[in-house]
Amino acid sequence: MPINHSTSKNGIKNWRAPLRKARNKLRSQLKLGDDRMSLFEWVTVSVIMISSMTIGIKTYALPPVAVLVLGALDDAVMIYFVVEILARFAVEKPARNFFKDGWNVFDAFIVIVSTIPIDESEYALLGRLLRLFRMMRLIVFLPELRKLIESLLRAIPRVFYVLVLMFIVFYVYGAFGSMIFSEINPALWGNIGASMLTMFRVATLEDWTDVMYETMEVYAFSWLFYLSFIGIVTFIMLNMIVAVIIEVVQENAKLKPGKESAAEHERMTRIENELTAIHRAIAQWGNAAGHNRDRQC
């Protein structure tokens, strides 16, 4: 009896559809989401927390058995991290897309660096510090934390100019204080560097009244110098930085709906195409089956 190649091809397609569906589901679980965390992400976050707790527990005096248990747990965590990062890399099609996401590169760098085996060498302290960076992986897996970091990074160019303005204010006040108050206390006002450090102390409100009362014994109205500086730096400049960050966060929130709708549209289009392909495959299979039945009759 001759083999119907079209029927065989349709059968292969029918078998490929569930496999493709399972692969897409696995890919959606392993890829980092923008809003909702998948089960895979929750498991990874739990492992990161366990890894962080083991690092903190090791700072206490522990019996030898506990040290062995924590060492084995640390090795298991390291193996999980390696397998997890390789699995996320494997589901990317093409694989180079994995490195197009900066968060993936950051995550992979932390995993690679924290697995360097230098615990038994003279760099053991460095090895423990590198393992401490594993906790930074929470930034990668928590969507809201990622959005916050992205907003802060986007705000850096604008905040930079505010910081430049703050430096100018610090320099002017520091130079003025060095010229006027250097004879009162050379340790605080002897040069521009010491004066700017003193102004930083005043800006943080750390015992700034002691500095002010010392100069007021010679210059009674020197309090105007300190109050004006505190008003400019502490209440105006810092509020400007906060305002810039809030503005960037709001801009990101406005951009978010467009991205979501585009992603949703792409997802619906992909589902529609898959359903169309499945419907076409079923129709071809039905036509082939009917044709074979007619031939047998």
| pLDDT digits (tens), the chain, 297 positions | 454 545 544 554 555 556 556 556 555 555 555 555 677 778 888 888 888 888 888 888 888 898 888 888 888 888 888 888 888 888 777 777 788 877 788 888 888 877 776 665 566 666 667 777 777 777 777 777 777 787 888 888 888 888 899 999 999 999 999 999 999 999 999 999 999 999 999 998 888 999 999 999 999 999 999 999 999 988 888 888 888 888 887 777 666 554 445 555 566 666 666 666 766 766 666 555 455 545 555
The CA distance from 213 to 236, in Å, is: 24
The answer to whether residues 188 and 194 touch, using CB atoms and an 8 Å cutoff, is yes
Query: How many C-beta neighbours within 10 Å does residue 185 have?
Result: 14
Q: DSSP state, 234?
A: I
CATH 1.20.120.350 location in the chain = 38-141
State phi, psi for 236 to the nearest 5 degrees: -100, -55
Q: Work out whether the CA dihedral 153, 157, 161, 167 comes out positive or negative.
A: positive
Residue corresponding to tokens 């100018």? 168
Which tokens is 107 given?
Answer: 């995550």
- What is the rounded distance in angstroms from the CA atom of residue 279 to the CA atom of residue 282? 5
Place of tokens 């210059």: 219
Does domain 38-141 bear CATH number 1.20.120.350? Answer: yes
Residues, the chain:
297
Cis ω on the peptide bond leading into residue 157 (within 30° of 0)?
A: no
Q: Tell me the C-alpha distance between 30 and 292, whole Å.
A: 43
Task: Please state, in angstroms and rounded to a whole number, the distance separating the CA atoms of residues 248 and 233.
Answer: 22
CA–chain centroid gap for 78, Å, is 20
Structure tokens at 69: 């248990």
120 SS3 class: coil
Give the position of tokens 């930079």.
160
User: What CATH number is given for 143-297 in this structure?
Assistant: 1.10.287.70
> Which pair of structure tokens corresponds to residue 52?
């962080």
Block residue for tokens 């810039």: 244
Name the token pair of 4.
């119907």
* Domain span(s) for CATH 1.10.287.70 in the chain: 143-297
Q: What is the pTM of this model?
A: 0.57
Q: How far apart are CA 223 and CA 201, in angstroms?
A: 15
